[in-house]
Amino acid sequence: MSAASRRPARSSSATRDAASRGRLVKVGLTQMACGPNANANLTRQLALAGRAAADGAQIICTQELFRSQYFCQSEDHGCFDLAETIPGPSTDAFQQFAKTHGVVVVASLFEKRASGLYHNTAAIIDADGSLLGIYRKMHIPDDPLFYEKFYFTPGDTGFRAWKTKFGTIGVLICWDQWYPEAARLTALQGAEILFYPTAIGWHPKEKKEYGAAQHQSWEVIQRSHAVANGCYVAVANRIGHELVQGANAKPVNKDGLEFWGQSFIASPDGTVVQRASVQREEVMVVECDLQKVEFARTHWPFLRDRRIDAYGAITERFIDGTSGTGRR
């Protein structure tokens, strides 16, 4: 019997009972436009996080690389000056913020680990202000105006989940969102919510022809992670049309990038609970019932039915018998 045919057979009382036993947590996402002044961006991000906390958010996630414009539109050695250590100024600010407001924070930063060694990193801060750990972006893109391989060393933390005051969360970053393996390995560590700090948008010249499909693909793949893993997915994206200036004070690309916003939260059945706008700065606070994670994982038991004995070849680059174990 398929999962689709199994689930409707459950009585509505089971759903009501699950709701009555709910573990409720309010998740806050922020989306904003970034300017060239790093300190101003930090101040703005803290202000938006403050609004989320005032609205009752208990776990707050920033967009990717909130302290700067998306500098990866070009390969410029001067942009390494934007990086900071962890711990450092931003984590200090957010640790104090988390402690003051009693909230969990996921903050996305450009990390300087050592001279010549930089990462795209998320800091996970618990509600008492302690730095629980970091996640370094594992999948690094290299596409037109997304030249991240020039700046970021691939992550070496592995995929991780953290037990916070308000629930067990996993954190992945932007390009990671296209990889089911990353979501699965994070969920297998008990993550009830997957957070994705993000910076994604359109090439203005491509938007008319491909824009709708690109956005739809981006949202669908992440909603599928929610379904496949029976968990919430929370995605914070930036907004704004960014024309990043180079050393000559001229745009590094005359078209720039148009970030599409539309931060969203999807429930364990893949439904979009709330979606932000394309162009407006927003603070979104959504109540998530973590009991629905248990409900989803018992009624659609995908984790139970995994054939872990049959997946060894997933570690191959391509299954053609020319590399690795030679499996065909």
In whole angstroms, give the CA distance from residue 72 to residue 65: 11
Percent of the chain whose pLDDT exceeds 90: 90
Q: Are the CB atoms for 60 and 105 separated by under 8 Å?
A: yes
Note the pLDDT of residue 3: 47
CA distance linking residue 43 with residue 179, whole number of Å: 33
Work out the average pLDDT over 27-38. Answer: 98
> 21 pLDDT exceeds 90?
no
Cα–Cα dist 238/258, whole Å = 10
Q: Model confidence at 4, in pLDDT bands (50, 70, 90)?
A: very low
pLDDT of the residue at 324: 63
Bigger pLDDT: 19 or 115?
115
Q: Look up the CATH number of the domain holding residue 58.
A: 3.60.110.10
Q: Phi and psi for 57 in degrees, rounded to 5?
A: -60, 140
Which burial class, exposed, middle or buried, applies to 23 when counting CB atoms under 10 A from its CB (0-12, 13-18, 19+)? middle
| 121 domain residue, yes or no | yes
Strands 104-114 and 59-61: parallel
For the cut 80, the answer to whether the pLDDT of residue 7 exceeds it is no
Is a pLDDT exceeding 80 seen at residue 120?
yes
Task: Give me the numbers of helices (H) and strands (E) for the chain, helices first please.
Answer: 7, 17
Greater confidence (49 vs 7) lies with 49
CB 276 within 8 A of CB 316: no
- C-alpha distance from residue 213 to each of 46, 128, 202, 209, 282 (Å): 33, 42, 11, 9, 24
Enumerate residues 6+ apart whose C-beta is below 8 A from 291. 18, 19, 21, 22, 23
CA distance from start to end of the chain: 30
Residues recognised as catalytic: 64, 137, 174
Kindly state the average pLDDT of the residues 32-60.
98
Domain that holds residue 160: 21-315
Per-residue pLDDT of 222-256, as tens digits, reads: 999 999 999 999 999 999 999 999 989 999 999 99
On whether residue 175 sits in a domain, the answer given is: yes
Nearby residues of 319 by Cβ (< 8 Å), 6 or more positions away: 313, 327, 328
Residue in the structure block whose two tokens are 């992945």: 172
Tokens of 140: 């690094």
Amino acid 327: pLDDT: 55
Q: Per-residue pLDDT for 325 more than 80?
A: no
β-strands 193-197, 167-171 pairing: parallel
Closest CA to 236 of 16, 29, 21: 29
Q: Is residue 14 part of a domain?
A: no
Residue 63, pLDDT > 80, answer yes
Model pLDDT, residue 326: 52
* Position 39 pLDDT exceeds 70: yes
Residue-wise pLDDT tens digits, 164-181? 999 999 999 999 999 999
Q: Is 1 a member of any domain?
A: no
Query: Mean per-residue pLDDT for 62-73?
Result: 98
Tell whether the model's pLDDT for residue 328 goes beyond 60: no
Question: What rounded mean pLDDT belongs to the chain?
Answer: 93
Whether 13 shows a pLDDT value over 90: the answer reads no
Residue 1: per-residue pLDDT:
46
* β-sheet bridge partners, residue 236: 197
Residue 15 lies in a domain: no
Q: Is the pLDDT of residue 86 over 70?
A: yes
pLDDT for res 322: 84
What pLDDT digit, counting tens, does each position of 252-270 carry?
999 999 999 999 999 999 9
Q: Which among 38, 66, 68 has a CA at the least distance from the CA of 244?
A: 68
The Cα 75–Cα 325 span in angstroms is: 37
Q: Which of 202, 219, 227, 193 is nearest to 58 (CA)?
A: 193
Whether the per-residue pLDDT at 182 is higher than 50: the answer is yes
In a domain, 28, yes or no: yes
Q: Would 326 be classed as within a structural domain?
A: no
User: Which residues neighbour 146 within 8 Å (Cβ) at sequence distance 6 or greater?
Assistant: 72, 73
- State the angle between helix axes of 180-187 and 204-229 in degrees (0 to 180), rounded to the nearest 10: 30
Q: What is the pLDDT of residue 10?
A: 44
Give how many domains the chain has, as a whole number. 1
In a domain, residue 127? The reply is yes
Q: Three-state SS for 5?
A: helix
